[in-house]
């Protein structure tokens, strides 16, 4: 099929590349000329596994880039809107970009087309898009609006798209439903999974995926409700972790005990320093706003947000309690992205912690495998940046693990021990076994688990340096 994807941000770029890999002809549209030029030259603006390979494979063949929205819309049967919906000061989603795209599409509806909301949007957005396109001259019989929420996790977006748990499509007509079934036919039929050049199947993937057809309003709510529920799970286990620390229990054992319950499951029961990124914080605020407009006081969402913010402050208090005073302390920080596998620092709890530590007079030397350039822009000159984890730890009064990158979970502990000034590790992601850390000479503090303490003598490397 001929598909236009409007917006070359995270969702749009992954969506366009994956549709091309399914065999569709894709035009990726953006009004940022510099971004389009970079994409045409083969540059990939985001850190995402398999995305560079897909763009290299299909660039100039099944996927091309354009700044001309109307021409792209005329040439396409299906138009996916994947532009940003940032949160306003009130917490509402800013719909101005979607409105602008809808107005421009209206001038290109010269044959039947399905216009699809791919951005995360509040309920009733489909009705507003339809009104705008009609108000600007398009005949109502020549287009339908569909809602097709994305469930992409940064770092695994390509495999999430091609091996989804489910595909949700909200439509109001059978005609639109048939078009959307054809769009996702390569997945739902299982055809894509039989190809030798398909993106490798991730663990736990069930194929072919289920296609769930709903009303447009239900589809819009499914996305917000899903993210709110997952955020609630994270905040719940973080609250439990706080209780574990107080009473001396081990949250890892608690997670195993409740996660094996088939009604609950183990996923997202990972205590840490809180959720972040471009989705959960924004979507919870938008969902809360929708609830208020509907006359429902969704106080559970308020508590989920509060617990998440408190978790970051709680970890900061732990750093203070371990180091006594912060001013003048040198800290090696491992991780700046909001989670492993991505370079996204939006609403990153790691970045927020670094900013707070710097304000309190700490000398921070940080390292992240992918987010360094973005973090440099955000943090400015107040933070030193290392070339690897070991350089970040050299001479540190303590090492802080703030992002769950795989390489941080497999460090050479003896090498690390020889580099730090004091063998203190505060792990905000619970990447290590406390007993293992103690065996290797560290005093180790994690989230929701008893501390593993050793005699905190200065390392040999630090002694030589001082000598």
- The catalytically annotated residue of 279, 362, 365, 454 is 279
Q: Where are the alpha helices (DSSP H) in 107-250?
A: 125-135, 157-162, 174-183, 185-188, 216-247
d(CA 275, CA 305): 10
Token pair of 448 as six digits: 């929701």
Among 228, 16, 220, 230, which residue's Cα sits nearest to residue 119? 220
DSSP per-residue string spanning 167-209: EEEE-SSHHHHHHHHHHTHHHHTSTGGG-TTSPPPPTT--SSP
- Fill in the DSSP letter of residue 380: G
> Which residues share a beta bridge with 351?
none
Closest CA to 45 of 279, 344, 377, 388: 344
Cis peptide before 125 (omega within 30 of 0): no
In terms of C-beta distances under 8 Å and separation of at least 24 residues, what long-range contacts does 186-192 make, across chains too?
Answer: 186/22, 186/23, 187/22, 187/162, 192/21, 192/22, 192/162
In the residue annotation, 255 being an active-site residue is answered as no
Question: Are β-strands 166-170 and 210-214 bridged in parallel, bridged antiparallel, or unpaired?
Answer: parallel
**Alpha carbon distance 173, 167 (integer Å):** 18
With a CB cutoff of 8 Å and minimum separation 6, the contacts of 131 are none
- CA-based diameter of the chain, in Å? 82
Residues annotated as catalytic (active site), given as ranges: 279
């Amino acid at each position: 099929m001929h598909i236009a994807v409007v917006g070359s941000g995270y969702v749009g770029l992954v969506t366009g590349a994956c549709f091309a890999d399914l065999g569709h002809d894709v035009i990726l549209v953006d009004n940022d000329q510099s971004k389009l030029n970079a994409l045409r030259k083969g540059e990939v603006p985001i850190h995402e596994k398999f995305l560079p390979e897909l763009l290299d494979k299909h660039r100039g063949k099944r996927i091309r880039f354009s700044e001309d929205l109307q021409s792209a819309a005329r040439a396409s049967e299906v138009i996916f809107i994947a532009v940003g919906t940032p949160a306003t000061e009130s917490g509402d989603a800013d719909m101005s970009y979607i409105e602008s795209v809808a107005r421009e599409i209206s001038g290109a509806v010269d044959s039947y087309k399905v216009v699809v909301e791919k951005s995360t949007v509040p309920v009733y957005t489909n009705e507003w898009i339809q009104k705008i396109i009609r108000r600007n001259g398009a005949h109502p019989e020549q287009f339908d609006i569909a809602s097709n929420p994305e469930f992409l996790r940064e770092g695994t977006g390509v495999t999430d798209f091609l091996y989804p748990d489910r595909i949700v499509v909200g439509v109001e007509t059978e005609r639109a439903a048939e078009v959307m079934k054809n769009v996702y036919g390569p997945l739902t039929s299982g055809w894509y999974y039989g190809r030798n050049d398909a993106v490798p199947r991730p663990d736990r993937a069930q194929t072919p995926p289920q296609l769930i057809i709903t009303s447009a309003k239900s589809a819009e709510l499914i996305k917000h409700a899903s993210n709110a529920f997952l955020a609630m799970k994270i905040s719940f286990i973080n609250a439990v972790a706080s209780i574990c620390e107080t009473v001396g229990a081990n949250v890892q054992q608690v997670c195993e005990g409740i996660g094996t319950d088939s009604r609950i499951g183990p996923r997202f029961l990972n205590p840490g320093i809180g959720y972040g990124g471009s989705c959960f914080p924004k979507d919870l605020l938008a969902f809360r706003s929708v609830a208020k407009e509907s006359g429902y006081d969704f106080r559970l969402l308020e508590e989920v947000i509060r617990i998440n913010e408190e978790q970051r402050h709680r970890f900061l208090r732990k750093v203070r309690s371990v180091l006594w005073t912060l001013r003048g302390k040198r800290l090696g920080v491992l991780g700046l992205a909001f989670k492993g596998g991505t370079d996204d620092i939006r609403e990153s709890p790691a970045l927020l912690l670094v900013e707070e530590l710097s304000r309190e007079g700490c000398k921070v030397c940080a390292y992240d495998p992918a987010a360094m350039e973005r973090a440099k822009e955000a943090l400015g000159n107040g933070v030193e940046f290392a070339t690897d984890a070991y350089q970040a730890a050299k001479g540190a009064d303590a090492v802080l693990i703030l992002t769950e990158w795989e390489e941080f979970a497999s460090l050479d502990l003896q090498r690390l021990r020889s580099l730090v000034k004091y063998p203190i590790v505060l792990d905000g992601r619970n990447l290590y076994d406390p007993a293992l850390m103690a065996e290797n000479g560290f005093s180790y503090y994690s989230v929701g688990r008893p501390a593993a303490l050793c005699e905190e003598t200065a390392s040999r490397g630090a002694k030589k340096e001082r000598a």
